[in-house]
Amino acid sequence: MSDLYLSHLWSWALRSPPAEWAIKQLRELLIGALSQGPVPKHIAFEMDGNRRYARSHKIETVEGHHLGFEALARVLEICYKCGVKVVTVYAFSIENYNRPKYEVEGLMQLAKVKLEQLMLHGDILDRYGASVRVLGQRDLIRPDVLEVVDQAVESTKNNKDAIFNICFPYTSREEITTAIRTTVEEYSTTARPHSTPFSQTRITQKLLSQKHERGDSLASIRETSPSPSSSRSDEVEDSVSSSATLHPESPPMRSEFESNVTVYPSAEDITADTIDSHMYTDGCPPLELFVRTSGVERLSDFMLWQCHQNTPIVFLKCFWPEFDLWHFIPVLLEWQWRQKRKERDEKPKRRVKQL
C-alpha cells in the first residue's frame, strides 16, 4: 500500500507547477546542449508498439495510437529544435490494411483529424519551417483522407528549413519497385537529350587560343582557371553523346538519324544515383540514424534502400507512446560519440594521403 501511496505522491509532486517548470527548463537546456554537437540530418523512426502499449495498459488500440501521436509530436519538436533537417516516420504500412477494419478506420480517421487540425492552425509547421511530404502509394488512401493530405502538403510546401516525411501506406519494396518502374519509364520514353553539332570543347579551345594570340598579360592566370572546367565538360559530353566526341572535326549526321529512328538514352547510364533520385525520399539528405522502438529487431520493410549502407540502426526496448527525450538522449549521445570517433579515425588517414 505504501508503494502505491509513494508513487501517487511522486506523480503529484512531478505535476506541481514548480516541478513542471523545472523539467521544462531542463529539457530546454539539454536540447540546447545536444544541438551544439553534430546532429544527424535525417532520422527515420519506426513507431512500433502502440498496440502492445495499449494492451499492456488495458486501453483500446485506437487510444494507443492517439498516445503514439502525442509521442510523435514530442519527438518532432525535439528533433527540429536539435537541428535535424528531415524526420521520416513510418505511419502506416501497406501490410496494415490486413488489420481489423475498425483499427484501420481509426487510424485513417486519426490521420485525417490531425492533418485537419494542422491546417486549421496553418502556421504551426511554419514556425519550425517544416514542410509535410507523404511518401507511399497514394491510390490506396481513402479519397476524403487524400484530400486533406494534399491540402497539408500543398500548404506547407514553401517551408524550406525542415521536412517531415510521413510514410503512409508505404513499404520499402513497393518504393524500390516504383523507383525501378519510373526509371524504366524514363529511359524507355524520353529520347536522347538534344545535342548540337557544336562541340563545347572546341569552343573553349578556340577561346583559349584566341587569348594566347592576344598575348594577354593575365593569360597565365586565366588559363589555369578554365582548364579544369573544360576537362570536366569533356567528361560530361562523353557520357551524353559518345559519337560527337569520337569525330570532333566532322559535323555528325545525327539530324537524319533522329528523324526516323527513336533514340533512347543508353540503359547503361543507369546508376544507383539514378534509382536514388526516383525514390520517394529524393531530395532528402542521406539517412543518418534509424530508430525502431518496442524491442523488435527487424526493419519490417521500412527504408531498406536508404538504411542498408552505413546508417546506424538503433533498436529500443520502450514502446512508442513512452518514447520521450529521456530515451532519445542516449541514442543521440552515442551517435555523436561515434561520429566524433569516426572523424578522429579519418583524420590521420587523410594526413597520410597528403604526405
Partner 1 sequence: MPLTHKDQEVYRRDEKFGHKLLTPDERRKLIDPYLPAPKKKSAVKTEKKSRFGVRRFLRKQLHLLVYTIIHTVFSVYIKFRQAYHAVRDRIYSVLYYHHRTPELIERDVKGLSRLPKHLSVILSLEDDGRGGAELERLVNEASEIAAWCASAGISRLSIYEKTGILKGYIAETHRAMAQKLAAYFGPSYPALAVSAPHMPSIETPGAVRSSSPEVVPSDAEPKHLSVMLLSAEDGRDSIVDLTKTLAEMAQRNKISPADITIDLVDAELAESVVTEPDLLILFSPSVELQGYPPWQLRLTEIFHVPDNQGVGYQVFYRALCNFAKAQMRFGR
Q: Indicate if 260 belongs to the active site.
A: no
Angle between helices 61-82 and 17-34 (to 10 degrees): 50
Please report, as residue ranges, which positions from 133 to 172 form the binding site for partner 1 (by CB under 8 A): 172
The answer to whether 293 contacts partner 1 (rule: CB under 8 A) is no
CB within 8 A of 291, min separation 6: which ones?
Answer: 43, 44, 45, 46, 314, 316, 331
Neighbours of 6 (CB within 10 A): 10
The answer to whether 252 contacts partner 1 (rule: CB under 8 A) is no
Minimum CB distance to partner 1, residue 326 (Å):
11
Q: Which is nearer to partner 1, 80 or 133 (CB)?
A: 80
Please report, as residue ranges, which positions from 307 to 346 form the binding site for partner 1 (by CB under 8 A): 307-315, 324, 333-334, 336-338
The answer to whether 282 contacts partner 1 (rule: CB under 8 A) is no
Residue range at the interface with partner 1 (CB under 8 A); choices 93-101, 212-220, 227-235, 236-244: 93-101
Please report how many Cα atoms fall inside a 13 Å half-sphere around the Cα of residue 293, on the Cβ side: 24
Q: Indicate if 96 belongs to the active site.
A: yes
Residue range at the interface with partner 1 (CB under 8 A); choices 141-149, 195-203, 217-225, 290-298: 290-298
Q: Exposed/middle/buried for 328, CB within 10 Å: 0-12, 13-18, 19+? A: buried
Please report how many Cα atoms fall inside a 13 Å half-sphere around the Cα of residue 126, on the Cβ side: 9
Element containing residue 164 per DSSP (H, E): strand 162-167
Of residues 57, 173, 202, 206, which one binds partner 1 by CB under 8 A? 173
Please report, as residue ranges, which positions from 198 to 237 form the binding site for partner 1 (by CB under 8 A): none
Catalytic residue among 3, 48, 98, 238: 48
Q: Which three cell numbers stand for residue 172?
A: 520499402
Please report, as residue ranges, which positions from 98 to 117 form the binding site for partner 1 (by CB under 8 A): 98-99, 113, 117
Of residues 6, 7, 22, 24, which one binds partner 1 by CB under 8 A? 24
Q: Which is nearer to partner 1, 38 or 252 (CB)?
A: 38
Of residues 147, 154, 185, 282, which one binds partner 1 by CB under 8 A? 185
Q: Which is nearer to partner 1, 314 or 318 (CB)?
A: 314
Catalytic residue among 96, 234, 276, 301: 96
C-alpha to C-alpha distances, 107 to 118, 119, 241, 270, nearest whole angstrom = 16, 18, 51, 39
- Alpha-carbon gap, residue 89 to 43, rounded angstroms: 9
Backbone angles phi, psi at 282, to 5 degrees: -55, 135
* Cα end-to-end distance, the chain, whole Å: 72
C-alpha to C-alpha distances, 8 to 5, 19, 20, 57, nearest whole angstrom = 5, 15, 16, 17
The answer to whether 188 contacts partner 1 (rule: CB under 8 A) is yes
Minimum CB distance to partner 1, residue 96 (Å):
5
Q: Which is nearer to partner 1, 222 or 338 (CB)?
A: 338
The answer to whether 270 contacts partner 1 (rule: CB under 8 A) is yes
Minimum CB distance to partner 1, residue 116 (Å):
8
The sign one gets for the Cα dihedral 182, 184, 189, 190 is positive
Query: DSSP assignment of 174-197, as one string?
Result: HHHHHHHHHHHHHHHHSPPPP--S
Please report, as residue ranges, which positions from 63 to 82 form the binding site for partner 1 (by CB under 8 A): 66, 74, 77, 81
The answer to whether 297 contacts partner 1 (rule: CB under 8 A) is yes
Residue range at the interface with partner 1 (CB under 8 A); choices 149-157, 208-216, 248-256, 267-275: 267-275
The answer to whether 298 contacts partner 1 (rule: CB under 8 A) is yes
The answer to whether 32 contacts partner 1 (rule: CB under 8 A) is yes
Residues labelled catalytic: 48, 96
